[in-house]
Structure 1
Amino acid sequence: MGEGSTGPGPRSLETRAQRAQGGPVWGGRRTESGLTRSCRGAFRSPRPLPKSGQADQTSEESLHLDIQKLKEKRDMLDKEISQFISEGYSVDELEDHITQLHEYNDIKDVGQMLMGKLAVIRGVTTKELYPEFGLDMND
């Protein structure tokens, strides 16, 4: 929605002359007339650019470091998986448990939404409805 001289409203209701006067164009590139030209220049990063030979070496070193960190994380996760398996957990059981938790959270979200709507209809807070439905404040 745009904002013409008559106030907020659809942009289609503004005249071409009103849009040409300046001011923000939602989703467009026009800026407010008070901004200086330097604000509309090309983007310049505040981070200094490395020297050309140094850039390749630095980025390669950075990639090797990232790869090493990922390998370490993979090894740590493999150890955790092995520990869970040795404790008697199965991957299928854990995946099922996670699925059930997602379903529980979805149902709880719907319940919270309905409680909120009921509270609005009654003109009370959601907190005030909890005792009526036998809910604990920590639920």
Structure 2
Amino acid sequence: MNAEEQDETHGSANKCPVSTPEGNDTKKGAVKRTPFSKFKRVHSHFKSPLQVMDGAKVSLAEEVAELERRREQLDTEIAQLEAEGFRVDELEHHIDMLHEYNDIKDIGQSLLGRIAALRGTTTRDLYTHFGLELDD
């Protein structure tokens, strides 16, 4: 059976357009590679959210002035907190303790997950079994 006979025996059911990288479509534009979407502009060009409008450009001097104002504002807030008795080294200590707490909590949750897998139950059930709160 040659190629023409095969086309005739399979009928016209296989005559739907096919989109291939080589562009061998039977009808130009009949089949799109992008699936159906409810958005109308599926085939539009990508527009970066970081683009700056021409009218919105700020001069370098204005940007520097704004950063200096922001630095002065932060320095004022720092001075106010120090006047209230807060110290930078105390803040660093609290941050270190929070990191340690989070590391320990992550290890505990990992262990609960493994125990739940071995027992064939959920971690939620283990929380109640061990008297732990789900919000913690």
1:67-110 superposed Cα distances (whole Å, 9 cap, x missing partner): 33322332232122112111111111111111111111111111
Q: Unaligned 5+ residue runs, structure 2? A: 1-19, 24-44
Query: Which residue in 2 is equivalent to 1:81?
Result: 78
- Alpha-carbon distance change, 116 to 88 in structure 1, aligned in 2, over 3 angstroms: same
Query: Which residue in 2 is equivalent to 1:112?
Result: 109
Matches within 5 A, 1:7-26: none
Name the structure where helix makes up a greater proportion of residues. Answer: 1
Query: Which residue in 2 is equivalent to 1:103?
Result: 100
Count of residues in Structure 1 that have an aligned counterpart in Structure 2 = 93
Q: How far apart, CA to CA, are the structure 2 residues paired with 1:110 and 1:137? A: 16
Query: Which residue in 2 is equivalent to 1:33?
Result: 21
Question: How far 1:120 sits from its partner (Å)?
Answer: 1.5
TM-score, normalization: structure 2? Answer: 0.54
- Alpha-carbon distance change, 46 to 112 in structure 1, aligned in 2, over 3 angstroms: closer
Q: How far apart, CA to CA, are the structure 2 residues paired with 1:65 and 1:123? A: 63
Answer yes or no: is 1:134 the counterpart of 2:131.
yes
Q: Unaligned 5+ residue runs, structure 1? A: 1-31, 36-43
Q: How far apart, CA to CA, are the structure 2 residues paired with 1:121 and 1:34? A: 53
Question: How far 1:116 sits from its partner (Å)?
Answer: 1.3
- The structure with the largest alpha-carbon Rg is 2
Counterpart code for 1:129: L
Identity rate, percent: 46
- Alpha-carbon distance change, 66 to 106 in structure 1, aligned in 2, over 3 angstroms: farther
Query: Which residue in 2 is equivalent to 1:12?
Result: none
1:90 aligns with one of 83, 87, 101: 87
